[in-house]
Structure 1
Amino acid sequence: MAVTDTLGLPNTKGRRPLIIAQVVDALGTGLFLPFAVVYFHAAKGIPLTTVGLMLSTGALLSLPAGPLGGRLIDRFGPRGVLVASNLIRVLTFTAYVFTDTPWQLVLLVTATLWGDSLFRPAVFALVAQVADDGHRARWYAMDRSLRNAGIGAGGLVGSTLVGWGGTSGYTAVVALNAVSFLLAAGLVATWRRTAAPRPAGDGADQAPAQAQAPAPAPAPAGDAAQERRGGYREVLADRAFLGVLVTVGVFALCDLALTLLLSAYVIEARGLPAWQPGMLFAINTVMVVLAQTALAKAVERYRRPAVLQVAAVLWMVSFGLFAAVPGDHTGLAFGGLVLGMVVFTVAELLQAPTSSALIVGMAAEHLRGRYLGSEELMWSLARVLAPTVFTWLLARGAGLPWLALCLCCLAAIVVLRRLHRVLPAHVQRETVDA
């Protein structure tokens, strides 16, 4: 236990099938993620512009999935929603193999994105229920580290399959992704908690006792009286949580800058070699895998709004470094980009588990799914807006996207400063078990 505590890892006894399910899911996602655009173009013969329209349409149509998923989590429990999200993606990825008609693929992409949007809040809600008191941030950190490792390994396998098999390789990638979702669903569905006893009820769906906002008396999932006691109206009445949602939107844009903006900025706006973005992504992945849990442990004694403020400041520093790289000196530019990426990743490592733990800590148990569903909605909106906003700004000036992100971070810092004053102490910082 001393080694796991030093590494910032939580106690996983009795919960290893859930961890294996996450790794399997991440491996499958990593198989397909790097080829999400090129698959439809190369394997299905659809023009790239049409592919872009398909993906944007699917993203727009999937916006309601997060809020609906939150309601389903509160009504039926996170495990059932998690299994359903995986089974949805089993069906859609299987169907990808058998159709090349754009309108049918739009429906499948939309269903896939619905599955994605149900998956994320369900995972966070289930982790909140099975994590030991005071160690939720560690669980979120471990989940993120494992997912990055799995996605990276899956990406290598997918690249090998595509390079070896061409169109058949693409088909193999999609089929294996469907299998991975099926395995993950089976692991979660058949898991039964055997560790520390919980109150009567489904062991997977019991929340650990902890100090938090008063919650209603326990009731069976789906109880009509519980439904009447809370809903999205109650969530929207939580003004502090609305402030948190502002920061979620800002941090989502910061995070998306890595995948949607950086490559275009480096190659197109600065005219630097095409190998540099790949190296930067590799640095980010290695840092997340190796440092996420240890850093989460290191900051768990501090108040979460303060940690998030530090993350926002570090993101501003990284954006300044990115904006300052010269386009006429490849070596110097790469050095600046590497430094910017290291600072960017530290900000990411601070923000991701801290934000999740803060939102779960704010939510009464009977509204936890809705709080997490609202967080997912903000991420979905950012995914819809970011490509258009980033490219529009980049076309008008290489530094404009980074300046805009800095201003967004300043706004988040102001909001977090207020939250530091108004949030209860038990929400800002969990009591960590000795």
Structure 2
Amino acid sequence: MLIAGLVVDALGNGLFLPLSLVYFTRLTDIPLALLGVLISVGNVLTLPIPVFAGALVDRFGAVPLVVGAQLLQAAGFLAYAYVRTPVPVFLAMTAAAIGVRFFWSAIFTAITDYADGRPGGRLTKDDWYAWANMTRTAGLGVGGLVTGLVVGADRTGAYHLVAYATAGCFFAAAAAIGLCVRAPRPRAHDEPAGGYRALLRDRPFLGLTGLNTICAMTSMMLGLALPTFVASGLHGPGWLTAALLSGNTVLVSLATAPLVRRVAGSRRTRVLVGALLVWAAWALLLAALRPGSLLVLVPLLAVGTLLFTVAESLHAPTSMALAAAVAPAATRGRYLASFQYSFTLAGIVAPTFFATLFGVHRALPWLALAVLDVATAAAFTRLERALPRAALRS
């Protein structure tokens, strides 16, 4: 039921993500520049939330926070159907953004606690994270497809329908998880307490979080950079980017769990090293491309996207499983909430990283990314010695 709840949650996200800006530019008179400022300010206000969310998870458990976050998102999206002026729009956006931040600060602890509550089962934590990643990707893809079909009519009622459907998905996900999922906090009387003070002294974990920032930034590059690279760097048609991104979504939805099962028993750090080297190969392939015949570009970009997908499918579940295994049971909520800052920082850095280097030459961001990935892979081999042995294998 946890996975089913995540599917519905992802469907809700998929329904509205493609409309993040279009919705309000279509239904309100707020200028686009002001909308951008409102969204940015709302997101900045949520940055401290993981710190508080982690402490709340350790005290009350992850499931109540996940459910509360989904209800808050539902309320925010429901308000989207009624707000029209800047202040109410800002409040609705911020409520939804706070819900998103609480959700990501708690959901991975919920999955870990849920897996711990099933000792002797066939699925490892890596498997649970893999299935969560697969189902979430599928939900996002289906939601995006439905939104594209509904909004194609460009009617006010269609936009309102998407807002209502999104809110309904989050209400349904909250009900499914809140009523049916039991993920008790693990007993950890022998674990040292200390909260964030102890976490900040845990250098191996901080190193893991720092290295994962590079992984997270790389994982964002397909959706963030490929459309611009194909259109402006290779002068390719719009359908090519859509086909590549759709193929990635389908493959992640189908292949993540089998790939993770394939590397079961390997050291998690070595799996991450392998993912980084595959990403580096993908980046070098893109760096070598130049405008030319589609008969050449299409197969090469398809191979590159396949490489990216393999690396993405290995990284996402393995990195979270490693972070969960490194975290002390008593402060797991704080650790996994703090680990999310690697994705937050990557999201801040990635657009500037790509845009600045791409402005110099189309190959430069990919060459720089390949160097970063190889250096991060080497750093993971060194970090491995400092991590607990028990955390290295699934």
Structure 2 counterpart of 1:107: 91
Deviation at 1:29, TM superposition (A): 1.1
CA distance 1:350–1:155, shift in 2 (3 Å): same
- 1:243-296 CA distance string (max 9 Å, x none): 111122111111111221111111122211111110011110111111111111
The one-letter amino acid paired with 1:243 is G
Deviation at 1:217, TM superposition (A): 4.7
Structure 2 counterpart of 1:233: 197
How many percent of aligned residue pairs carry the same amino acid? 37
The one-letter amino acid paired with 1:129 is D
Structure 1 counterpart of 2:41: 57
Moved over 4 A (4+): none
For 1:426 and 1:401, locate their aligned partners in 2 and report how far apart those are by CA, in whole Å: 37
Aligned residue runs from structure 1 range 181-196, under 5 A: 181-191=170-180, 193=182
The one-letter amino acid paired with 1:350 is L
Q: 1:335 aligns with which of 286, 299, 302?
A: 299
Comparing 53-62 with 250-259, greater Cα deviation is found at: 53-62
> Normalization by structure 2: what TM-score?
0.94
Task: Structure 2 unaligned segments of length 5 or more: list them.
Answer: none
Comparing 364-373 with 54-63, greater Cα deviation is found at: 54-63
Pairing 1:160–2:149 present = yes
Cα contact 2:3–2:131 (8 A) shared by 1: no
For 2:382 and 2:47, locate their aligned partners in 1 and report how far apart those are by CA, in whole Å: 29
Structure 2 counterpart of 1:11: none
Deviation at 1:109, TM superposition (A): 2.3
The one-letter amino acid paired with 1:381 is L
The one-letter amino acid paired with 1:238 is D
- 1:130-166 CA distance string (max 9 Å, x none): 2145700000000111111111111121112112352
The one-letter amino acid paired with 1:56 is S
CA distance 1:184–1:76, shift in 2 (3 Å): same
Cα contact 2:17–2:144 (8 A) shared by 1: yes
Cα contact 1:253–1:405 (8 A) shared by 2: no
Cα contact 2:138–2:249 (8 A) shared by 1: yes
For 2:385 and 2:329, locate their aligned partners in 1 and report how far apart those are by CA, in whole Å: 23
For 2:28 and 2:306, locate their aligned partners in 1 and report how far apart those are by CA, in whole Å: 38
CA distance 1:108–1:377, shift in 2 (3 Å): farther
Q: 2:227 aligns with which of 229, 241, 263?
A: 263
For 1:357 and 1:48, locate their aligned partners in 2 and report how far apart those are by CA, in whole Å: 40
For 2:230 and 2:34, locate their aligned partners in 1 and report how far apart those are by CA, in whole Å: 25
Pairing 1:146–2:129 present = no
> Normalization by structure 1: what TM-score?
0.85
Deviation at 1:59, TM superposition (A): 2.5
CA distance 1:51–1:336, shift in 2 (3 Å): farther
Aligned residue runs from structure 1 range 146-225, under 5 A: 146-164=135-153, 166-191=155-180, 193=182, 204-207=183-186, 215-217=188-190
* Paired residue secondary structure (2:340): helix
For 2:298 and 2:288, locate their aligned partners in 1 and report how far apart those are by CA, in whole Å: 11
Q: CA RMSD in A?
A: 1.8
Task: Structure 1 unaligned segments of length 5 or more: list them.
Answer: 1-16, 194-203, 210-214, 219-225
Structure 2 counterpart of 1:22: 6
Aligned residue runs from structure 1 range 5-404, under 5 A: 17-131=1-115, 132-133=118-119, 135-164=124-153, 166-191=155-180, 193=182, 204-207=183-186, 215-217=188-190, 229-404=193-368
The one-letter amino acid paired with 2:180 is W
Pairing 1:415–2:388 present = no
The one-letter amino acid paired with 1:84 is G
Deviation at 1:362, TM superposition (A): 0.5
CA distance 1:339–1:51, shift in 2 (3 Å): farther
* Residue correspondences, number: 389
Comparing 348-357 with 113-122, greater Cα deviation is found at: 113-122
For 2:173 and 2:92, locate their aligned partners in 1 and report how far apart those are by CA, in whole Å: 20
